[in-house]
A = this chain, B = another copy of it.
Amino acid sequence: MKFRNILEAVKVCDCVDSFAFHNGKSSTLDFSFVIDGKLVGYILNQYVNDLETYTVPKSDTESQDLHLFTVNHESCTVEIQSWCSTTESRQKNFELMLAKFKNENRWPLLKNWRDEPYPVYGSEQDPSGVYFTVERGSVQAFGVRSYGVHVNGYTIERNNGVECIKMWIAKRSMSKGTYPGLLDQVVAGGITAFERPTATVIRECYEEAGIPEEISARAKPIGTIQYFMKTSFGYQPETQYVYDLELPPMPTGSVDIENHKYFVPKAIDGEVDSFMLLDLDEIYKRMLNGEFKPNCLVVVVDFMIRYGYITPENEPDYLEIIESIHRSLPFPGPKSL
């Protein structure tokens, strides 16, 4: 899909108006996911019947099968029933339910099962703030917040005082389950429950791009981007921790390559097809041309804003773009990841 401008491209990720639900403006009014009276996500209509009718097989100590959720069709809320109020009980019952739905091929998004636990935040009892964890592949069904890291690998060539910034861009493998063949950051990955973002960076830098720890440890955290996405699988309010990693520029012309320190990322785990070193003009063109995975485009746009390539003077949608890539979310998050 080609875009007329950068705002249109950014809006693929940030397509949910944060205020829509509160204004009752949402066109298809989906359901609020509520735990302990607290809004933690949004659930598409298509999942509600399965949740409403799901029952936990009775155990020796129970007299009958129990519903796991209370669904209120007037207030459009899905709430975990009060009998299931401990971390352990929620954890166990979500695992059982999702395994059942997966085995029955009930929800298409569960085909992308990863065996990676993602945290649901909001608990005031647990010091971690985590209520319980859910399989990564199911996160969009509950529309809870998810977290990842994106690393901008870039080089600066300085010729006669003029700086030229280039970025290492990955082309995703055609065998990836999501967004095959699209362009991506040099390194990106989801943060599993109780993992620190910087640890994710170090791990993914090696796995995805062969960047050793002595280089990846220099990756500098520079903030986050945040957007509120909706796909056919569900709601995806997401936070990405962004890191900038300056890499040595590639030698040009007749430079003595042997003695010139530079670095070329290489695919290790099969998730990346190839890497390219592109200047910002070329990347900008490819963004408008629809070649980027949507949230990777957002990370590049943030980079271009921070480096003064996209400015208030050359971009009429400057403020709207910045608001869209730093969207306020109405759900609890971690005090400390």
Contacts and interface: CB of A to CB of B under 8 A. Distances in A.
A126 interface: no
Interface in A282-331: 302, 305-308, 311-313, 316-320, 322-323, 326-330
Nearest to A18: B328
Given A221-B313, A316-B335, A318-B336, 16 more contacts: A18-B19, A19-B22, A19-B330, A22-B23, A196-B313, A198-B312, A223-B306, A224-B319, A226-B326, A319-B333, A319-B334, A322-B326, A323-B328, A326-B326, A326-B328, A328-B328
A239 interface: yes
Contacts of A323: 226, 326, 328-329, 333
A220 interface: yes
A241 interface: yes
A198 B311 CA distance: 10
A306 to B, nearest CB: 5
A222 interface: yes
Interface string A60-79: 00000000000000000000
Given A197-B312, A333-B320, A335-B317, A305 B23 contact: no
A337 interface: yes
A337 B314 CA distance: 11
A222 B305 contact: yes
B221 A312 contact: yes
Nearest to A329: B323
Nearest to A22: B22
A197 B335 CA distance: 35
A120 to B, nearest CB: 15
Contacts of A307: 220, 222
A25 B23 CA distance: 13
A243 to B, nearest CB: 9
Nearest to A320: B333
Contacts of A19: 18-19, 22, 328, 330
A203 to B, nearest CB: 15
A313 B226 CA distance: 19
A134 to B, nearest CB: 19
Contacts of A320: 333, 335
Contacts of A18: 18-19, 328
Nearest to A198: B313
Nearest to A197: B312
A328 B329 CA distance: 9
